[in-house]
Amino acid sequence: MAGRSDCIFCKIIAQEIPASIIYEDSHIIAFADINPVASEHLLIVPKEHIQSLADVSMDNCSLLGQIQVVAAQLAKETGVASSGFRLVCNCGINGGQTVDHLHYHLIGGRKLQWPPG
C-alpha cells in the first residue's frame, strides 16, 4: 500500500521511520505516541491514508468498527480496561488535529479531565 510521501504516519506504516509498534493487522496499526499524555497512550491508525474523520464514508464502516474493537482489545492488553480509558479522535483545526492521517488516541492510566480544554 503506497503511503503519502509527506505523511509521518504513512512513513511509520511503511516502516520508513521507527515507532514502538504494539499491534498490526492488514488494515490497522497501533504504536506508542511519541509524546505520551498519560502512562498509557497509543495511537490506533488505519493503514489507508484517510485525512481525518471528516473524510470517511459508509465504505469505511468496517474499518471504523475494527478500530474500536482493536481499541478495546489493546485496553485489555495494556491493563487499562478495568480502570477506564478514553478513545479520542481529534478532527481538524478546532479539534486539535496535528497529523493529517486519521488516528485514534487510546489514553489511560490516570483520571482524565472532562470537559477537554
Q: Which is nearer to ligand 5GP, 31 or 75 (CB)?
A: 31
Q: Is 27 a catalytic residue?
A: no
Stretch of residues binding Zn ion (CB under 5 A), selected from 52-60, 65-73, 83-91, 101-109: 101-109
Q: Is 33 in the site for ligand 5GP (CB under 6 A)?
A: yes
Q: Distance (Å, rounded) from C-alpha 105 to C-alpha 40? A: 10
Backbone angles phi, psi at 64, to 5 degrees: -65, -35
Q: Which three cell numbers stand for residue 85?
A: 480509558
Q: Which is nearer to ligand 5GP, 65 or 96 (CB)?
A: 96
In sequence order, the 6+-apart residues with CB closer than 8 A to the CB of 86 are 105, 106, 107, 108, 112
Q: Is 19 in the site for ligand 5GP (CB under 6 A)?
A: yes
Q: Is 94 in the site for ligand 5GP (CB under 6 A)?
A: no
Q: How far apart are the first and last CA of the chain?
A: 37
Which positions touch Zn ion (CB under 5 A)? 4, 7, 9-10, 49, 101
